[in-house]
Amino acid sequence: MKPAAGVPKIAFVVDLADTNPDEADKARLLHLVHLFSGHRLPATWIVGTAERARLLRKQHSASASNEVALRIDMQRLSPLSSHSQFRTELGSQIAALSAAAETRAQLVVGDPQLLRSRAAILAEQGIEGVFFDQQDRSSPAKPRPLPCGLWQFRPSVSLTQKRRLVSLLLGRHPTVKRLVAIESAETQLLMVRSAELGRTGAGGLQRLEKLLREISWAASRDQLLVSTVRNTLAELSNQRAVKPQRSILRVAA
C-alpha cells in the first residue's frame, strides 16, 4: 500500500569505515550489513575500497534497493591535480567499486567546495550527488544544487551517538516519528558511522538493531517511508527540470 501524503520520509546512509582491517572489525561490519538486510531496510553504503564493497555482495545486499557511495581519497584525487589525472583516478575507483559491489555508484563522499570545480568530470562518470559527511551547522541542511546537475547533501541526524539512540528508544513504536520533522517534506538522512558504532561495543549494535526493528515496524504500517538517496536525487532532478517550464507558462499567461 502506498504511504499517505505527508508521511515523513527517511533514508539511511551507512559509512563502512576503512580504518580497521582486522577480522573482528570485518565481522562487526558484516553484522551491520546483515541487520539492514534482515529488516529489509534499504541504505546507501559509503565505501572507500573495493574490499569494503565486497562485504555488501557477501550478504546479498547489493540489490535494487541498496546503493553505494564512493568516499573519494583526496590524497590520490588532490584538488591540485590536473583534470585528466582526476578523471583517470576517479574512473578507476568507480569501476573497481562497481565490480566489487555489483552496482554502480551514483554518489561520492567529499567536500563539495573542493569538488565543485570537478562537477563536470563527476557528471561524466555518472555521479549525481556529493555527500558531505560532516555535521556542520554552516553547511546547508537541505539539498543544495551544484553545477552540472549535481546535488549536495549532508546528514540530518547521526544515529550512532549513544545519547541519540537512547533518547529515540525511550518510547514505544509510534515515537519513532521523532526521527524526522513531521512538517517537513524533505527526506531526512540518517547517518550510521561504523567507526562510532565500534566504539560503543555490543551495546551499540543492540540499540541500533532495536531502532531498526521499530523503523521497519513503522514503515510496514505506513507511519513513515524508508526511501533512498537515489530516489531523493531523482525527485530533485525532476523538480529542477519542471521549474523552467512553469516559469515559461507563467510568462505566457
Report the C-alpha gap between 176 and 185 in whole angstroms: 17
188 lies in some domain: yes
Mean pLDDT across 152-166: 72
Residue 248 has what pLDDT? Answer: 45
Res 245 pLDDT > 80: no
1 lies in some domain: no
Residue 72 has what pLDDT? Answer: 85
Rounded (5°) CA angle 189-37-31:
95
Q: Are the C-beta atoms of residues 104 and 209 closer than 8 Å to each other?
A: no
Residue 73 has what pLDDT? Answer: 74
Q: What is the CATH number of the domain that holds 172?
A: 3.20.20.370
Res 222 pLDDT > 70: yes
Residue 13 has what pLDDT? Answer: 93
Mean pLDDT across 216-221: 86
165 lies in some domain: yes
3 lies in some domain: no
- Joined together, the cell numbers standing for residue 34 give 546483515
- Joined together, the cell numbers standing for residue 123 give 557528471
Report the C-alpha gap between 88 and 78 in whole angstroms: 12
Q: Are the C-beta atoms of residues 129 and 107 closer than 8 Å to each other?
A: yes
Mean pLDDT across 218-232: 86
pLDDT digits 0-9 by tens, 73-118: 766 666 567 888 889 888 988 998 888 887 888 899 988 888 898 9
Mean pLDDT across 180-208: 77
Q: 215: pLDDT confidence band, cut at 50, 70 and 90? A: confident
209 lies in some domain: yes
pLDDT digits 0-9 by tens, 165-183: 555 554 444 456 566 554 4
Mean pLDDT across 175-204: 73
Res 162 pLDDT > 60: no
Residue 45 has what pLDDT? Answer: 92
CA nearest neighbour of 115 among 158, 70, 68, 156:
70
The number of folded domains in the chain is 1
Residue 232, φ and ψ in degrees, nearest 5: -65, -40
Range scoring the smallest mean pLDDT among 65-69, 103-107, 149-153: 65-69
Mean pLDDT across 48-52: 84
Residue 153, strand partner residues: 131
Q: Which domain holds residue 233?
A: 9-252
Q: Which range scores top for mean pLDDT: 21-35, 55-69, 167-181?
A: 21-35
pTM: 0.83
2 lies in some domain: no
